[in-house]
Structure 1
Amino acid sequence: MREALTNLRLLRNFIVEHLTEQLDAYDQVIRLLAEEPGERAQGHTLACSAPLSSVAPMLVNARRLLRVALSPGPMAVPRFGVAVTAFSIPEPPFGVPGSFLRPRRLLFFMSSTQRTRVRETGRRPDPWVIGISGGLLVLFVVFALTRPTIVNTAVDAAFAWSTRWFGAYWQVLLLATLVVATILAFSRYGRVRMGGPVTPEFGWFRWVAMVLTTLLAAGGVFWAAAEPLAHYVDPPPQYADVSGGLDGAAIALAQTFTHWGFVGWAIGGSLATLVMMRGVEKGLPLRPRTLLWPLLGEKVRTHWLGTVADISCVLAVVAGTVGPIGFLGLQMSYIGTEMFGLDSGYGTQVALIGGLTLIATVSVLSGVDRGIQLLSRINVWAALVLIVSIVGLASLPYVIDLFLQASAVHVREFVPMSLYRGDDAWLGYWTLFFFGWFIGFGPLMAIFIARVSKGRTIREIYVGATVLPSVVTMVWFTALGGTGLWLEQRDPGVISGPYTEHGLAAAALSIVQALPFSSVLAVIMIVVTLIFFAATLDAMSYAVSASSMREGEPHAVVRAFWCVGMGATAVVLLTVGDNGVQALQSVIVVTAVPAGLVLLPPLWGAPRLAREMAVEQGIVTSIEPRRVEEPEREPVG
């Protein structure tokens, strides 16, 4: 036994010594390939038949794997292909078969050893993130139950302060993120593949469906019916002179596109996702703190700002999820009362939210690849049936004309609508509320999209997580909200009357009631809404759980805890009536303040990381200094 231990120690020292030497060799070859990919690189013998344009990234990957093998402590090893140079390792100082120490075998031996250590370490939650975020949430609920007036006053004051000091910043941040992401996606860096050379886990339809239902669920039915009608009845301040008719409807819908279109989707599905995926590839955690990597570097792992980022982003997404869930209970109970004569009391609301939470919890326990994927596919088809039915029973030509005209207005007025800084009250109630909502969802949406997007290029992620969801959202809002506008123009008051009397919650139901087969459509609408929110609750519980883990994937039990916790919080808030839900919706904006700061570093970090990966993957060569052309000299004489 003693002799075996001695041999193992000698083997370890031998491996470390020669791997360290090999790191230096890799560095030298990488520099040569980066600086002069021509003649000087040809002088190095490489044990592979790949062209020189692809050798550099292979060497970088191999070097990274060697570096991981030499680093102490548990660390997840990325699944990189290994490029093996034609180097030789001398015979070890004791009887170990020479084939055991062949470079390829040696590298994979070290890789499997590291993975074993990770598995032995297991999952480790972060008690600071779980304790503080969970404690603050419980504290808010307790105060909302016992001191609702004080809570409402404090939240209103915080809301006013947030919109006054950070409103313009949010508008510029969202617009700048969209511009940078668009340029990056359609440049040569758009071909960079994220997450390593792996096959995407999900097909295009399943992948886009998961991304789409996760964020659109926050208001897929409620706001699609309510917001276009609200802007039609009471036009935005900068377009107050345009009211009624197709022009007024186009302005109302274009304003809705601004709130729910490209700027909203880009914040979570572009630059933040890129930084998150690259950080995880480098061994950083799948947590909001990784978005500060361009600012803090490797210190982000343990820096207190990273912990603050994790906690604030968890609170932001919890607020953004719990608020709509609580309002969903009120809306569904209202629909049940109007359509089916059900009791609109607290028991009905609890039953609805309880059923929603149960569906989401079952989805959570079944895993991301089965739960969210199944909910998303069901919801896409159910939503398609609902939209086709509504438009088919209304006026398809009007909806098409309205979509085209609203899209033209949206393109023409995109920047003025996005950066409008006039009426503070209107701005806080509409634009800044939605922008703050999406910013609050942004970091954890990036976590979720990064989790399901391995193996896709930057361009694919931009198209699948920003462009397609934006277009689908615009079509969805046109079909549902546009039908409401058509009904209102045909019979004034049929939609605006219930809206004026009962508020935003009455918009969707009034549209359904004005169409044939209203009972059937109401059932389909309820099913779509419930699955929308179940998908969001499932995805956000995963993102919140991942944010509270120091190592490893979050356990299904932890995800179920957050899922049940958010549902239970919504149930408790309903006991204080509208005040609790409205207060939490205002908290959405307040919690977006730190989340907006977390989303700033990806603006400059994502392009730099894309450039770095493009060099590694052989898409571009190393940065070449600009040559200053000397002016031509005039001939003498």
Structure 2
Amino acid sequence: MDDYTRKKKSLDWIAFSLSGGLLVLFVIASFINVDLVGEWIGQAFSVTAKYFGAYWQVLLLIMFVIGILLAFSKYGKVRLGKMERPENGNFRWVAMILCTLLASGGVFWAAAGPMYHFITTPPLFPDIKAGTMSAAFPAMAQSYLHWGFTAWASLGTLTTIVLMYVHYHKGYPLKPRSLLYPMLGERVFNKSVLGSTADIVSILAAAAGTIGPIGFLGLQVGYGLNAVFGIPNTFFTQAVIIIFLAVIASISAATGVERGIQWLSRINVSLVVVLMVAMLILGPTLFIIDLFIGSEAFHLQNFLTMSLYRVDQAWLGSWTIFFWGWFIGYGPMMAMFISRISRGRTIRELIIAVSIIAPIVSNFWFTVVGGSGIFYEIENPGSVSTALNESGMPATVMAILNQIPLGTVLAIGFIIVSIIFVATTTDSMSYTVGVTLSGTDEPNRLNRVFWAIMFGVVAVSLLAIGEGTVSTLQNFIVVTAAPVSLLLLPSLWDAPKIAAKLAKEQNIGKKK
């Protein structure tokens, strides 16, 4: 098996050329006729949301439930990765996990999401009057659903179990196509069209999911710098910010997981904790605590109903289905990254960290930021919602911080956190794309740096076209998620089978 693995460590030029080429082709087509590309992507988005939406909702819910059942069964004791002790300490490990989904958009959605749902009550709760205290609980609960348990479960639970088994226990390359190994066997690695397709669509989906937020958060940071320091919010400013982020990410990716990525992750999570505690103390402390407890109870009480809601298709396409497509598109790549940092962990540790701890931390973060906005909106109607409606998400954060003592200091903290979050997302994704193309845990440095720089360059190109193209690319995420979601399906039955097999090998559950 070692000889086989060594032969497969060379760069996969077919996947590299097709994934990179299609991405460049998309940008070129956008420059030539952005309206036509936007129309095509919009139509593809509508078709995908219509025919895959219900499947995605059921897929993510079942993935979460099976993961929880595995974690708290005897199979939870199974140790993954052929290592007796974890490579990374608990804080370092959880920090790197948190800097995956939360980094992709959690900073600004934490303010905008709850406020959107507060001033326009989700359709599942038509009897609750928008803009009132009663609307605060479903508003937060809806954000919890979109960034909570099922969202995190899609990134690295069952799929991580499969990938770690195929790579570390069987010795095959760490690639998205490895998810098909339990079903198709070794032939999925031998010049397999299906295997190459799995890798390519996963790269495209992860690239779309990374480039969109890079460009988007470039706009957010530009707005923040203008609001705090008066720096002109121009395309040049935004381009400099994004290139700066890409350079940081490329340096981090080049130094590998053990140095750059985990170092940035620890710094960022520490800063988020400081910001969260500062906002909690300086802001409406008791209101936030009460809102978190009440909203979490509301969320758990209505969890199944919200998860499987299917009535208002237009609303679902704009919210739940959009987020599920985004996160499913990230799924294989994030699972690869989490596989790489989780050697020596048990299934129970993995599931609890990814599907329980990370969502609860995200939910509390959303409550501190978004809950503060709801408090100030109730106290002074229009103080936050007007900024959101007129200027979008970045204005929402600033409108909230303007009403908190030391708001300017906190605003600077948010800008720094946003910058590092984008860098951590970019470096982890460039690392996993490099792993996919090389099939080894330590891909060539130039390979990693190339993708980090490419993500930044494409994001700048999209900003040059206009803000609309960034949202078009985000819709493109949902389109690319359709084939990726089929790739995730076998893990629903493969992960439990693998857990049972490893439990037998590790003599877990046998009577003494």
Same-fold status (TM-score > 0.5):
yes
Matched, 1:216 2:145: no
What is the alpha-carbon distance in structure 2 between the residues aligned to residue 464 and residue 378 of structure 1? Answer: 19
1:160-201 deviation per Cα after TM superposition (whole angstroms, max 9, x unaligned): 000000000000000010011110111001101001133211
Contact 1:544 1:562 (C-alpha < 8 Å) held by counterparts: yes
**TM-score (norm. length: structure 1):** 0.78
How far the C-alpha of 1:294 sits from its partner, in A, is 2.7
What is the alpha-carbon distance in structure 2 between the residues aligned to residue 523 and residue 463 of structure 1? Answer: 33
How far the C-alpha of 1:543 sits from its partner, in A, is 0.9
More helix by share: 2
Q: CA RMSD in A?
A: 1.4
Code of the residue aligned with 1:486 in structure 2: it is F
Contact 1:123 1:553 (C-alpha < 8 Å) held by counterparts: no
Ranges in structure 2 where 5+ consecutive residues have no aligned partner: none
The corresponding residue for 1:295 is: 183
What is the alpha-carbon distance in structure 2 between the residues aligned to residue 429 and residue 178 of structure 1? Answer: 23
How far the C-alpha of 1:620 sits from its partner, in A, is 3.5
- Where in structure 2 are the equivalents of 1:474-553 lying within 5 Å? 474-550=363-439, 553=442
What is the alpha-carbon distance in structure 2 between the residues aligned to residue 435 and residue 382 of structure 1? Answer: 28
What is the alpha-carbon distance in structure 1 between the residues aligned to residue 228 and residue 380 of structure 2? Answer: 21
The structure whose Rg is larger is 1
The corresponding residue for 2:301 is: 412
What is the alpha-carbon distance in structure 2 between the residues aligned to residue 122 and residue 552 of structure 1? Answer: 12
Code of the residue aligned with 1:572 in structure 2: it is S
The corresponding residue for 1:99 is: none
Matched, 1:133 2:133: no
The corresponding residue for 2:489 is: 600
The corresponding residue for 1:390 is: 279
What is the alpha-carbon distance in structure 1 between the residues aligned to residue 246 and residue 11 of structure 2? Answer: 23
The corresponding residue for 1:585 is: 474
- Where in structure 2 are the equivalents of 1:185-334 lying within 5 Å? 185-243=71-129, 244-280=131-167, 281-302=169-190, 303-334=192-223
Code of the residue aligned with 1:587 in structure 2: it is F
Contact 1:246 1:402 (C-alpha < 8 Å) held by counterparts: no
Of residues 30, 53, 56, the one that matches 1:144 is: 30
Of residues 456, 472, 493, the one that matches 1:567 is: 456
What is the alpha-carbon distance in structure 2 between the residues aligned to residue 123 and residue 283 of structure 1? Answer: 12
What is the alpha-carbon distance in structure 2 between the residues aligned to residue 365 and residue 298 of structure 1? Answer: 31
How far the C-alpha of 1:392 sits from its partner, in A, is 1.5
The corresponding residue for 2:336 is: 447
1:305-338 deviation per Cα after TM superposition (whole angstroms, max 9, x unaligned): 1110000000000000000110111111122222
How far the C-alpha of 1:462 sits from its partner, in A, is 0.7
The corresponding residue for 1:88 is: none
Code of the residue aligned with 2:112 in structure 1: it is A
Code of the residue aligned with 1:298 in structure 2: it is E
1:5-26 deviation per Cα after TM superposition (whole angstroms, max 9, x unaligned): xxxxxxxxxxxxxxxxxxxxxx
What is the alpha-carbon distance in structure 2 between the residues aligned to residue 307 and residue 256 of structure 1? Answer: 36
Code of the residue aligned with 2:315 in structure 1: it is W
Of residues 426, 430, 433, the one that matches 2:322 is: 433
1:190-239 deviation per Cα after TM superposition (whole angstroms, max 9, x unaligned): 10100113321100000000011122101121100100000001111111
What is the alpha-carbon distance in structure 2 between the residues aligned to residue 207 and residue 388 of structure 1? Answer: 21
The corresponding residue for 1:15 is: none
Contact 2:80 2:346 (C-alpha < 8 Å) held by counterparts: yes
What is the alpha-carbon distance in structure 2 between the residues aligned to residue 240 and residue 512 of structure 1? Answer: 30
Of residues 56, 59, 74, the one that matches 2:3 is: 74
Code of the residue aligned with 1:345 in structure 2: it is T
What is the alpha-carbon distance in structure 1 between the residues aligned to residue 243 and residue 485 of structure 2? Answer: 32
Contact 2:8 2:439 (C-alpha < 8 Å) held by counterparts: no
How far the C-alpha of 1:122 sits from its partner, in A, is 8.7
Of residues 240, 260, 269, the one that matches 1:371 is: 260
Moved over 4 A (4+): none
What is the alpha-carbon distance in structure 2 between the residues aligned to residue 177 and residue 170 of structure 1? Answer: 10
How far the C-alpha of 1:350 sits from its partner, in A, is 0.6
Contact 2:103 2:425 (C-alpha < 8 Å) held by counterparts: yes
Ranges in structure 1 where 5+ consecutive residues have no aligned partner: 1-67, 77-117, 623-637
Code of the residue aligned with 1:248 in structure 2: it is A
How far the C-alpha of 1:494 sits from its partner, in A, is 0.5
What is the alpha-carbon distance in structure 1 between the residues aligned to residue 219 and residue 31 of structure 2? Answer: 17
Contact 1:211 1:465 (C-alpha < 8 Å) held by counterparts: yes
Contact 1:487 1:511 (C-alpha < 8 Å) held by counterparts: yes
Q: Which moved more, 1:345-354 or 1:515-524?
A: 515-524
Matched, 1:400 2:329: no
How far the C-alpha of 1:516 sits from its partner, in A, is 2.1
The number of aligned residues is 508
**TM-score (norm. length: structure 2):** 0.97
What is the alpha-carbon distance in structure 2 between the residues aligned to residue 127 and residue 362 of structure 1? Answer: 24
- For residues 273 and 552 of structure 1, do their structure 2 counterparts lie closer, same or farther at Cα, with a shift above 3 Å needed? closer
Identical residues among aligned pairs (%) = 47
What is the alpha-carbon distance in structure 2 between the residues aligned to residue 546 and residue 253 of structure 1? Answer: 37
What is the alpha-carbon distance in structure 2 between the residues aligned to residue 519 and residue 536 of structure 1? Answer: 26
What is the alpha-carbon distance in structure 2 between the residues aligned to residue 294 and residue 596 of structure 1? Answer: 17
Contact 1:402 1:482 (C-alpha < 8 Å) held by counterparts: yes
- For residues 552 and 435 of structure 1, do their structure 2 counterparts lie closer, same or farther at Cα, with a shift above 3 Å needed? closer
How far the C-alpha of 1:552 sits from its partner, in A, is 6.0
Code of the residue aligned with 2:67 in structure 1: it is A
What is the alpha-carbon distance in structure 1 between the residues aligned to residue 199 and residue 254 of structure 2? Answer: 24
Contact 2:340 2:441 (C-alpha < 8 Å) held by counterparts: no
What is the alpha-carbon distance in structure 2 between the residues aligned to residue 505 and residue 519 of structure 1? Answer: 14
What is the alpha-carbon distance in structure 2 between the residues aligned to residue 532 and residue 451 of structure 1? Answer: 20
What is the alpha-carbon distance in structure 2 between the residues aligned to residue 136 and residue 146 of structure 1? Answer: 15
Contact 1:573 1:581 (C-alpha < 8 Å) held by counterparts: yes
Code of the residue aligned with 2:46 in structure 1: it is A
- Where in structure 2 are the equivalents of 1:21-170 lying within 5 Å? 68=1, 74-75=3-4, 118=6, 123-170=9-56
How far the C-alpha of 1:553 sits from its partner, in A, is 2.8
Code of the residue aligned with 1:411 in structure 2: it is L
The corresponding residue for 1:16 is: none
